[in-house]
Amino acid sequence: MGLRFGTDGVRGAAAELSDAFVFALGEAAARTLGSSFVVGRDTRESGPRIERALVAGLERGGAVVSVLGVAPTPAVAWLAARDTICGAVISASHNPWSDNGIKFFGAGGRKLSDEVEAELETLLDELLASVVVESGEEDHDVAVTPDLAPDPVFDAASALRDWTEALLAAVSVPLDGLHVVIDCANGAQSAIAAGVISAAGARVEVLHASPDGRNINADCGSTHPEDLQAAVVASGADLGLAFDGDADRLLAVDEHGVVVDGDHLLALFAADLHARRDLRGDLVVVTVMTNLGFRIAMEELGIEVVETAVGDRYVLEALARTGGSLGGEQSGHIVFADHATTGDGLLSGLQLLDLLHRSGRPFSELAAQSMTQLPQVLRNVAVAHRRSDIAEVLAGPIAAEQSLLGTSGRILLRPSGTEPLIRVMVEAATEAIALEVAGRLAAAVEEVCSA
């Protein structure tokens, strides 16, 4: 098959997710993961078609399916955890509307391990090989004829209410006096977030909450916060919250319109939980891309930093392994393990509002105090073939550059997980130094990979 599992399920151009492919994927998931599923999707134009084919495939595989319709990824994960069933989300997250994808949660709302994904892929390949082919094309009729009807007893509106009530129960409401602007990215959070945050007591202004199937993430949301930055300043709000298309990540904007990324948010949450003795194990889980400034801030507080590969599922695996209660990524995937089994942008937003309300201090002041972000330079070097051993091959040059940086800098070389690129990341005391080191290492990568 052309599409394969990446760091977060199967994702690509929506046209590549043919009915036959999605049907086979659903059947393989039911036969591999379990007999009960809850399914949600974001607001993309291709979502309803893919939903029909996926539900049909899941049912062909013997599963009972509860269909949420448009729903945030964390809502699907929460319901899967509550009911000890499997979950499926049709979304391409922060990608443009023309893309789509499917990701799964195992029974209990946890993302799949590499081993389970490999097993699912093997069965999927077998099922696709058996699809009837006429005149060189797949017979799509197989994919859109469900054997069973979706669970007629399931009440999607009630299920989503249960999730939002759990979110509100996780914070100290009411949050009176706070004024927040939210950007829903014309995605899965569009019909939900404003009501929940208002119910918590805050005053809410809403941007980009009118999805039309093609405007999801379009110049809005966590990948394009410019409108939010301007709106926060213009309205005199205390902060802004930006979600992505499937609402599992959050970026914030302070009262001056400055973006506060996932590293700063994690630092704020870690320090707050540590001070309240609610940070289990006094540790926080992050990825290799997390800024060195975060690590320095945590060291000063006596908080252990556990590092994983890039991808929120690796953060989740480390949290389960260590028993930790907090983890996340620079991109805004933040996991509060006491309340969720995956990143939840709305939960993170409510937790931030709660923290600000308790502190009584401006967001900009708290963010600046949480950590000092070191300049970070990322160079993407195009290569004919990704070398998984690039860091080992260039161990000598890397060590030489690291000795120049000392403890005030950091180097990371890694192949992209999805593109023919080698990523060179350098952090240093100044941007000029980081640029110089990244340039030399990028040249070394080009020399090695062209040899």
Cα–Cα dist 267/293, whole Å:
10
Residues 6+ apart with CB under 8 A from 254: 232, 239, 260, 362, 363, 364, 367
| Closest listed residue to residue 286, CA positions, set 312, 264, 261 | 312
| Closest listed residue to residue 332, CA positions, set 320, 341, 319, 345 | 345
Cα–Cα dist 158/19, whole Å:
30
Cα–Cα dist 387/422, whole Å:
8
Enumerate the active-site residues. Answer: 93
Cα–Cα dist 363/264, whole Å:
11
Query: What pairs with residue 180 in β-bridges?
Result: 204, 239
- Termini Cα distance of the chain: 31
The answer to whether the beta carbons of residues 332 and 345 sit under 8 Å apart is yes
The answer to whether the beta carbons of residues 311 and 8 sit under 8 Å apart is yes
Cis peptide preceding 152, ω within 30 of 0:
no
Cα–Cα dist 265/370, whole Å:
8
The answer to whether the beta carbons of residues 345 and 243 sit under 8 Å apart is yes
* For the chain, counts of helices (H) and of strands (E): 15, 21
